[in-house]
Structure formats: C-alpha cells, structure tokens
Amino acid sequence: MGGRVDGKVALVTGAARGQGRADAVRLAGEGADVVVVDVCGPLPGVDYAAATPQDLDDTVAAVAATGRRAVAAQVDIRDLDALRSAVDDAVGTLGRLDVVVANAGICIPRAWHRVTPEIFRDTIDVNVTGTWNTVMVGAPHLVAAGGGSVIIISSAAGMKVQPFMVPYTASKWAVRGMAKAFAAELAQHSVRVNSVHPTGVATGMGGEAMQAALGEAMAENPRPGAMFTNMLPVGVTQPADIADTVLFLASDESRWVTAHELAPDAGVTEF
C-alpha cells in the first residue's frame, strides 16, 4: 500500500541523520513533503559526534529521491523564536502542515553520582523544552489545517526504569506526560498527540561512545544492566523499524488514536 500520507506536510526535528532522517524519508516515500530541522552543530555535553550541515543536505537529497519536496533549516530547538521563524517560513513554502514529529533529543549516560548539574540541565533543555518548543510552533499550523498528528518521540526509558540515565529517563517520562496533556487540549481541533517509545536504536546516539559510557557505569554496578535486555531476541532495532510506527501515527489509519503510547520496543518495557 502506497501513498499513506499523500498530500500531507510533515515537520521532523533532529532530521539530519539517524532516526529523524529515517522518519523524514519514510514519510516522503508515502507521499508527504517534509520540513527537516537539525542543529547541525555541537550538542551540549554528549559523548558522540554531532550531525553536520552535510548530513542535513543528505537527508534533503534522500527525500528528493522519493520525488517529494524538503525544506531544511539549521536551527536549535531550544531557541523558540528561531524555530518558529524557520517553521513558519517552511510552511509558507510548502503551503500547510499536517504532522509534527518531535524527534530531536540527547542522551548522556552516567552513573547517578557522576551526573553533573550541567548534564541534567542540558538534557532537560533539549529533550523537554525543545520538544515543547516544537509542539508550540507546529501545532498552530495543524489547527489552521483543520487537524493533524503530533508525534513525540520518547523512549522505553519513558515507560520503565532504565539505569544510568537519570536525566534522560526524567526527560522521557516528562514528554510522555506532555503528549497526553497536549492531546487533551488539542482534541477540540482534531489534532491527535501520541508518544513513541523505542528500545535501543542503531543510530549515532547509541553508538560506541554511548556504549562505552554505559559500560563504565555498569562496571561500578552490574546488576541494573539486565534492565536493558529486550524480550524479543534482538539487541538493537533499526531506525526504519521506528519510522514505521511514526508513519502509522502520521497517517489516517490512526485517526482515532490519541493520548497513547506506542512502543516498538522489542518487549523491553515488559521484561
């Protein structure tokens, strides 16, 4: 089945690579034009390399290869005014907005006693305030369009305890609640809001640097490490797996689904 979001326009943050790129390309492949946003520069406190402007250009090229349009903006989601200006300009170019995918986020694993005030602050600023900013600049366009879908990317860490990630876990529970709160108020405008809760995904965020940081924490306290085990026999999922869930929530197939958590998590939240 093709064209599941034919004629729609979607905003995807953190779209230069990894999960955000997969979401943008999957939506484009099913008929959507996309607004792709990424900071494309240093991220506060993280152990992994940041995306680059070339990464964002590559996302635009991948979207173009599907035959759809992409409007790109290099902007920090922590900057509400800059984000609003970029999104408003892109909507002016593409004509409307129907879907918001609040995907951008950071993760800085540390044992609890090694979390600094800066790590906690930066994680909340990006993952919570940045997500709020994304919804605040995108939702008015969905209201103007007569309805739409907001998809907030949380994590398995937003549904269960995950060790060595106190700031990240706090942020992902926060955006899970944020999704439900927005859903309650935006329902009158036929805007649906849901959260997505993946297990580990094979992206730059979850690469060698993060695994090394987790390994260091587990060396001090091995027992909680078992909490990362998936129920299904897979160690890590692929961005395309999560993009399938995003596509479902963006499409009219989920037109009566709101204020829910969808968890393509290989069973980790139940294990």
Sorted by where each starts, the structural domains of the chain and their CATH numbers stand as 9-262 (3.40.50.720)
The predicted model gives 158-175 an average pLDDT of 97
Mean pLDDT of the chain: 97
Cβ partners under 8 Å of residue 108, min gap 6: 45, 46, 47, 119, 122, 123, 167, 168, 213
State yes or no: is 48 an active-site residue: no
Asked if the model's pLDDT at residue 109 lies above 80, the reply is: yes
Rounded CA separation 103/235 (Å): 22
Parallel, antiparallel or unpaired: strands 99-102 and 261-262: unpaired
Asked if the model's pLDDT at residue 1 lies above 60, the reply is: no
Residue 99 in 3-state DSSP?
strand
pLDDT band at residue 207, thresholds of 50, 70 and 90?
confident
Q: What are phi and psi of 3, to 5 degrees?
A: 65, 35
Tens digit of pLDDT for each residue in 221-266? 999 999 999 999 999 999 999 999 999 999 999 999 999 999 999 9
Rounded CA separation 78/128 (Å): 9
Catalytic residue among 48, 164, 168, 228: 168
Tell me what percent of the residues of the chain surpass a pLDDT of 90.
94
- Could you tell me the pTM of the whole model? 0.97
